[in-house]
Amino acid sequence: MDMRLSECSVAELGRLLRERELSAAELTEYYLERIERLDPAVRAYISVLADDARSRARGADATLSEGAGGPLTGVPAALKDNICLAGAVTTCASRTLADFRPPYSATAAEKLLRAGAVVLGKLNMDEFAMGSSTEYSAFFPTHNPWDLARVPGGSSGGAAAAVAVGMAPYAIGSDTGGSIRQPASFCGVVGMKPTYGAVSRYGLVAFASSLDQIGPLTRTVADNALVLAAIAGHDPKDSTSAPNEPGDYSAGLAEGARGLKIGLPKEFFRAGLASGVEKAVRDSARRLESLGAEIGECSLPHMDYAIAAYYLIAPAECSSNLARYDGVRYGLRAPAADMIDMFQASRSAGFGPEVKRRVMLGTYALSAGYYDAYYLQAQKLRTLIRQDYERVFAAYDVILSPTAPTAAYRFGEMSDPLSMYMGDIYTIPVNLAGLPAISLPVGLTDGMPVGVQFIGRHFEEALLYRAAFALEQSVAFTARPALTEVD
């Protein structure tokens, strides 16, 4: 079989399947073989669902042989391991859930299955999505396929690495403070965090419920729009799901950048931003200007407080959401003499250091005497940050910024938690405001990918895809990790 199938887009694979130039069974075997060959080095997958994938591929072939099916029918996919898939072990990369098999599928996963997708497996992540490097998985770290000594980002590091190295045509991840966009930048792929409420969170194991959002990671902008359309839309099972229907995110891709008003936030170009990343963003702005966009400087004055606000709000919600893992209702139960000891022993053995750190921080922020001083103040700052964006969007259509302040770093370089937290400085404000944002690769610095981020108004994903597609076509980023070519 042609080794270049891993270079095909999701749309191209769908066309090959519909025109019967390729069967879903053949395509599934191709990707299962790539996983078997490449994943021992990358470690993107926690579990590979080979038998289930083969069964779904046979079903997809039956559908396609009848002339039915859509653009995703028979195309393999992979899911971050905090997205429930009925009967499949869903661990959240935690010892607490090492043997948990959900009795239902997440709405996003269910929509993909109804669209005919073939799920290859579940992908590694930082435990309970708490981390920015996938070093905090309880099982093993995932390696960046561009340089195995470097991190792939996080918490959707397995998803980004799998797509980058061609072990899945696309993946579904989650983004609470940058967990789709930052690994997309580190691994040279496209990652979209949709508007809060655009994609159902039902069946997504919760970290911070007011911030979590499911979204796609793909090789191209057009593929990303295609996949998001399949998983977006209202879901009565999710009380925070927006009533909006997704529409056609691909319809305006070819309209180009002409006439778009694009803002560059001056607060995002300060100390701490690597020179190679800043150059990539400013080069992207010049490209967009040459394509007919209007570029101007804008201001988001409360961005300096975003990290502090986030690391009070997210841990507070984490403290509440993870209270259910008590050795009784879910997950690991440690032997103990009485119930209190069992509760303490189960959580001590089940949670890793970063999860414990955030649970303790959140519990403290919500405790008597500190709620008003910390949590309430953080929520007020969240409102100010949202208002900053509203003022900018009164003058600009989209915002262009770095996705992360650096390219992928080496394992162990961010051992100080605060240093790692600061790596999400450009992505966290978007989650606090509930806005959509997309990261796409635009070049390399010191041999590693660099991504830029477009931020848009609520539910204007189609406009973000238009801007990102225009830049993608102009940049024509075709570099791939050397590991992709390993036979």
Give the pLDDT confidence of 275-284 residue by residue, as tens digits.
999 999 999 9
Active-site residue among 23, 94, 132, 155? 155
Residue 375 has pLDDT above 80, yes or no: yes
Cis peptide preceding 155, ω within 30 of 0: yes
Kindly list the domain boundaries of the chain, sorted by start residue.
3-261+396-485
Q: Sorting pLDDT into bands at 50, 70 and 90, what band is 1?
A: very low
- Superfamily of domain 3-261+396-485 in the CATH hierarchy: Amidase signature (AS) domain (3.90.1300.10)
Task: Please state the φ and ψ torsions of residue 296, each to the nearest 5 degrees.
Answer: -145, 160
- Please give the pLDDT value at position 486: 56
- Please give the pLDDT value at position 60: 98
Residue 2 has pLDDT above 80, yes or no: no
Residue 330 has pLDDT above 80, yes or no: no
Question: What's the pLDDT tens digit per position in 75-106?
Answer: 999 999 999 999 999 999 999 999 999 999 99
- CB within 8 A of 167, min separation 6: which ones? 31, 34, 35, 38, 39, 42, 44, 45, 78, 120, 161
Question: What's the pLDDT tens digit per position in 266-275?
Answer: 999 998 999 9
Mean pLDDT of the chain: 96
- Please give the pLDDT value at position 246: 85
Question: What's the pLDDT tens digit per position in 20-47?
Answer: 999 999 999 999 999 999 999 999 999 9
Residue 3 has pLDDT above 70, yes or no: no
Nearest alpha carbon to residue 134 among 84, 179, 193, 192: 179
Please give the average per-residue pLDDT across 292-311, as a whole number: 97
Instruction: Return the structure tokens found at 436.
Output: 């959509």
Question: What's the pLDDT tens digit per position in 110-131?
Answer: 999 999 999 999 999 999 999 9
Check if 179 is active-site: yes
What percent of the chain has a predicted confidence (pLDDT) above 70? 99
Q: Sorting pLDDT into bands at 50, 70 and 90, what band is 4?
A: confident
Active-site residue among 23, 105, 132, 179? 179
Residue 416 has pLDDT above 90, yes or no: no
What percent of the chain has a predicted confidence (pLDDT) above 90? 92
Please give the average per-residue pLDDT across 336-342, as a whole number: 90
